A and B are shown apart, each in its own frame.
Chain A
Amino acid sequence: MTRYMTTTLLAQAEVAIALAEISEGVVPSAALLDALGIDRSGCEAINALLVSELPPFASIYLSLDGNIGGESQAEIAGFYRAISVKVPPNPDYLSSLLYLLGQIIKKEAEVVDGETARSRAIEIAKLTLLRQHIAPWLVPYLQRAEQIAGADASVWIALTLDLIASILESSEVPTPKQPIDEDLDQSQIESFANSVEFIDWITSPLLSGVIVAPSDLVSIAKSLGLATRIGRKRFVLEGLFQQGGRELLAAIGQFVAEQGDLYLSRSSEFEVLQSWSKRAIITHKRVLATLAPY
């Protein structure tokens, strides 16, 4: 391994662990915030995003039901065990994932010259973690974060995207095609049978290609003069559909279309955004198909 490669790996590891710390939601040390150029308001904006708007659990964005837990957590726990690090209570939480990524990269940097098989195995583990459990949701998540948290969180968002890009661009291992992409190629456009089916769909980022934050629903409701109830997204949506049907669906459709465009804006840098965009387009078309008879 060349000195340059080692330096790059150590830099990636350091930043991954630093970002894990920032994403934890605790108050990080002032020295760390200074080094990253994040001020107090930035820290508060990130915390508000993580706690109130978009909970950063991989399983929410990578499971069909959009809930925390399930296979995704179990698979990530396996990475922890493989490197003999205690599995944290929520292994798929963003800070845990970044910490894990940092530890794996550290191990990669520690490999002695000549240990090619070991080096390769660690690199594959790192890329598998990144490509299957981090990048597929974190890239679109950060795009949404930029919209919601605004400029205060921009340093954190940019550095996290840099970390992902840096690891991906330094890899020579090709990205395998994901099963979801194949499904998208064969998707049929059907209208939604009722509001329940729509809510199931829209609250699953994996199905809909859309990451909806509570503040998005509040904005849509305000624009239509509807009252919002406080609770889980599903509950809020049920409340909104009790007040309005067609206009609401149209407004959400518009929101979905905008999300599809958002993904496309950076899909040349991050390939994963292409499938998110495709899914958002399918969702939008299904909304239009549902509205067509009216």
Chain B
Amino acid sequence: MSSTSRLQSAAERVSAAREATEKRGETFYQGPSGIHLASHPPFERWSDWMELDSKAWPTKKERRYALIPTTCFNCESACGLLAYVDKDTNQVAKFEGNPEHPGSRGKNCAKGPATINQITDPDRILFPLKRSAGRGEGKWEKISWDTALDEIAAKLRSSITTGRKDKIVCHIGRPGEDGFTERVLASWGVDGHNSHTNVCSSAGRAGWHYWTGMDRPSADFANAKVIFLVSAHLETGHYFNPHAQRITQAKERGAKLIVLDTRLSNTATHADYWLSPYPGSEGAINLAIANYLIQEELFDREFVRKWWNWQEWLESAHPDLGQDFETFISLLKETYSPYTFEYAAAESRIDKKVLLEVAEIVATAGEKFASHIWRSAAAGNLGGWQISRTLLLINALLGAIATEGGTYPNAWNKYVPKPIYTPPHPDVWNELSWPSDYPLSMNEMSFLLPHLIGQGRGTMDVYFTRVYNPVWTNPDGMAWIEMLLDESKVGCYVALTPTWNETSYFADYVLPMGHSSERHDLTSYEQYDGQWVAFRQPVLRTYANNQGGEVHDSRDVNPGEVWEENEFWIELSWRIDPDGSLGIRQYHESKKNPGAKLTVEEYYEYIFENSVPGLPGRAKAEGTTPLGFMQSHGAFEITNKVGQIFAEVVPENELIETSTTQLGRVYTSAAKPVSTNIVPTGDPDPDSSGKRPVGVVVDGEIRRGFPTPSGKLEFYSKTLAEWGWRDQAIPNYVKSHIHPDMLESNQMVLISTFRLPVQIHTRSANSKWLDEIAHTNPVWINPIDAERLSIEETDLIRVNSEIGYFVAKPWITQGIRPGVVACSHHMGRWKFSDTTNSLTMRRVELNSEGPKRHLLPKSPPKPYTSSDPDTSRFWWNDVGVHQNLIFPVHPDPISGMHCWHQAVSVEKAHSGDEFGEVHVDLDKSKAVFERWLKMTKAAQEVSPDGTRRPRWLMRPLKPTKRASLLRPTESLQ
């Protein structure tokens, strides 16, 4: 028998076995060396996976696991995890990536596997606690969940029934499930949703929203030719893993990566062009590139003609000129002609030749231009939202909107399935969260809460923080402490948190919440051109059910009495309205068993059976239920290659009794088709006869368009023009509050917005693996500045802001440009006593002296004995400095975003200064707030229609029209 004959015989046997295996839907080839994702355990073996016990080596001791999927609960991107449940111990042994998750594709950053540290943290909060002494004194008693629920429910019921609905506020940190908390609050009739977004991403969102009616980018990185990032977020925060792996894919194919980041971020180290601009000048660079495309006619004329609202700009801003496209192009050239490379070079301090080179590369991208912006420059600067808007101008010029390799609006790459109940939006407006001083703010003005309450604008009966830590995360933390200590301002404070944090020390109730593998959530995020949903679940509950066990609720399987939020909110809502008389309970009742409490199983069963297209069929093909499919796979891809939804022709059945404006906006009497995807977008107003906007006429055809008032990409925002900001209505360059013109001669810019890739503000303080990798935050300083200031790396330095100073260690590095210093957040954690242990919190003392507050270090974290032997051998004691305390609030007058960058002076520490100390003057912080408040244009002055805020803009809870009026007794104009 020849070698070929033997080979053919073997091949026949292998082919037959492969075909039979694959026919059963199982994986035959796991794949070599990471070429395939099948280097992960193949799905069909998840119920009984064997690995050798590494600790038993060289003995080959087999350990058997059930692999239960969930999603990570650290950053927002909700990457897939597989919990390895040890069948001998019935506990989770480790977490690895879930290859069935279409966003993360089996890959994770360090935070995912470190979930095991979080769930086994020997010092986590395990039981409901109630304050047993004065607020902030750090004394607690363990109480039952029943007691906690009854007491809190009674306070809420009292507020709801006595006309004090606006005194209930729930402050959200890490989002769990899209819209869940909003719907709970809506069921209570409360406008109390308060997000962290205005200290995070609202400026990045605002720039997108005014263009597209949707509020964030979804770049198709994997297929891009040129990737342009005005951000450091990709390697340090959201989407680090799903985006980074797709950028790597594109680079392997030869795509060019351009990164604008003043600091040498991890992303910048991978760039073909790393541009380190003077902070705040990014908008000038964007506009210089746009101007180059415009003047050289390198843009997509047809796309601009069809999809920009140029006619509206001509009509509103230039009524005296010709109203044709050629006139528009001439005006466009004239308008942007000042933004030359020379101008951008002067602003950014980057060589104009480099800027030209980058512009030439951008011009080659065509529709395959993927751009992204999130925090970074947008979050740092006054007018940061215009940096986002000028970036999208480049995409809009190239026609790279929702194209392969281009940038999508997030809403088209996201699926929020309609839940079992959607309670009506409240008939009240919360003036503390949405003050009329900031009518265009993209999100709640949450970081101003202490100042607004300080001005006597209101109080709170019940204040929840949900996996949030405003004292430490927000600017001006001392003002937060002042507010929380005053029980006349905050009647009851409830902290829902998995771990101790700086804010929870001031709580009245501390309620333990679950981590990634201990809670239910349904998530969907824009990570590529596709739509998917992923299921976070209490894995031991699913495991117990699979074994035939009965679980009453997640507390039965979680450590101590740690609970999941969904069940908590349902239970709390029942206790507020036990007999249903308030109309709250109806939204938390079973549909299958009327009168019984809604269970999380029924809640998700309903969603998966009714609101996720394709899932029931796929589940049936596998012989399971939709819920069973999600419990076993953890994720489901609904579709990919979504395409240009805006260009779709509107079907005839949606065009009933239509009316069309002169500029082509089409309104219809036809009801909006029922969709199971309730992803939020802009919601343009109906016309005067109540018909809804349905599309826009483009070259004689009615197409779907964008969810903006004009139905087109809004190069010109009529909303901004009408609400008092005509000068900002088109993409524009705003000189930042830290522009060189604004600085004193001894001042520098402090960049404080960058993250450490392995940490997350509220949940990683006791994650030992992550803490070992990163536990301190020295101040980055260029050698030129260090020499000028006579600073050496062994010195301590003082960083002085308008309201105070902190003492830190310097890191002298070329990774930051001269004139700028940078300090990461995440570090500088603190606590008041040693009653709780920590790997990264130093013990401090807080002293008052009139308006002055002094946070003084007492002792660094020390090794301690616990159930985890590693806590007795951690080796670090430098845990950085809490810099955010010395930042006064800087609310952008338009987007409402806190503008994080600080003008600071840096000097050698004074004699007696101690590393980590922080000093703040509250009078000064109040003065800065009042100064910035004067920059706004309040709704009372500028509202064109008597409303508090343009109603078409997105809002988590959207109060009724009546409640949206500045004078609710009057009718809408």
Contact = CB atoms under 8 A, between A and B. Distances in A.
Contact of B35 (A10, A86, A170): A86
A20 B12 CA distance: 17
Nearest to B20: A31
B674 interface: no
Contacts of A15: 7, 10-11, 14
A35 B13 contact: yes
Nearest to A10: B11
A133 to B, nearest CB: 15
Contacts of B252: 86-87
A29 B14 CA distance: 11
Interface in A164-188: 165-166, 169-170
B3 to A, nearest CB: 4
B10 A36 contact: yes
A59 interface: no
A159 B30 contact: no
B15 A29 contact: no
B27 interface: yes
A165 B11 CA distance: 15
Contacts of A7: 8
Interface string B811-844: 0000000000000000000000000000000000
Contacts of B15: 14
A108 interface: no
A21 B16 contact: no
Contact of B17 (A12, A35, A86, A93): A35
A263 interface: no
Interface in A1-34: 7-8, 10-12, 14-15, 17-18, 20-21, 23-24, 26-29, 31-32, 34
A208 interface: no
Contacts of A23: 32
Contacts of A8: 4, 8
A161 interface: yes
Contact of B28 (A31, A87, A99, A162): A31
B39 interface: yes
Contacts of A35: 10, 13-14, 16-18
Interface residues of A, number: 42
A89 interface: yes
B39 A26 contact: yes
A163 interface: yes
B14 A170 contact: no
Contacts of A21: 29-32
Interface centre among A12, A21, A96 (most CB of B within 10 A): A21
A1 to B, nearest CB: 16
Contacts of B10: 11, 15, 18, 35-36, 159, 162
Contacts of A36: 10, 13-14
Interface string B332-359: 0000000000000000000000000000
Given A35-B17, A166-B4, A88 B11 contact: no
B28 A11 contact: no
B4 A14 contact: no
Given A34-B17, A36-B13, A11 B33 contact: no
Interface in A56-104: 85-90, 93, 95-96, 98-99
In the complex, the 10 A-B pairs of residues with the closest C-beta atoms, listed nearest first: A95-B32, A11-B11, A88-B33, A165-B3, A162-B3, A35-B17, A35-B13, A14-B11, A31-B17, A24-B32
11 contacts: A8-B8, A12-B11, A14-B18, A21-B29, A29-B29, A32-B28, A88-B33, A99-B33, A161-B3, A162-B7, A169-B3
Given A35-B13, A96-B33, A96-B35, 10 more contacts: A12-B7, A15-B11, A24-B32, A32-B28, A87-B252, A95-B33, A96-B32, A162-B3, A162-B6, A162-B10
Interface of A: 7-8, 10-12, 14-15, 17-18, 20-21, 23-24, 26-29, 31-32, 34-36, 85-90, 93, 95-96, 98-99, 158-159, 161-163, 165-166, 169-170
